[in-house]
Amino acid sequence: MFSYFLELDIDAGDNVNIDMNTEPETTATEISSFSFLASLVSPLLALVQPTTLSFPPLASPSIHPPTTSALSAVHISALECLNNVFLSLTASPNPSIHSDVNSGLTVWNGIWSALSLVGTQTGLGQERRQEMWEVAAGVLWGIGRVWKGNLVCLFSLFANYVYVLNGPPDS
């Protein structure tokens, strides 16, 4: 990250002279991939992980619907935050994050872990479960864009999951 320092010269007549020819200085606060993931992405990944009360099975309704609604909203909101993070990173790529393939795999696996707990049951009253999958598809797309070329084998896995969920494509 670069910081620009402008030299200001203010005289008694309120005339301001700005020296725009200053060079950028690299600061020690440059974001490393580890600190980025540890400070922002890791807590969001934890919030994405559902509990048994977050998305109850279709056969047994929630024992406390307000809690179920709140929990599922938290999980979906955390996914939406992750979606925004990875969309931002695709717009402003950071080479140190792109080269940290282990972090990419950690995030990718964390999302799939949450989705495996959510399940694929759909039906009346399961709209939040479907919304979780829809937002997660955007997050997985963003992860794929950030670590493009490094997570190639995982895209075929994603395609297989989509195939299982939606069935074969229409001919």
Give the Cα separation of 139 and 127 in Å (integer). Answer: 19
Give the Cα separation of 30 and 3 in Å (integer). Answer: 10
0.75 exceeded by the pTM? no
Q: Can you give the pLDDT of all 171 residues of the chain as single tens digits?
A: 333 333 444 455 545 454 555 554 444 334 555 566 778 899 999 999 999 899 988 778 889 999 999 999 999 999 999 999 999 998 988 888 888 888 888 899 999 999 999 988 877 778 899 999 999 999 999 998 998 877 655 555 555 555 555 555 554
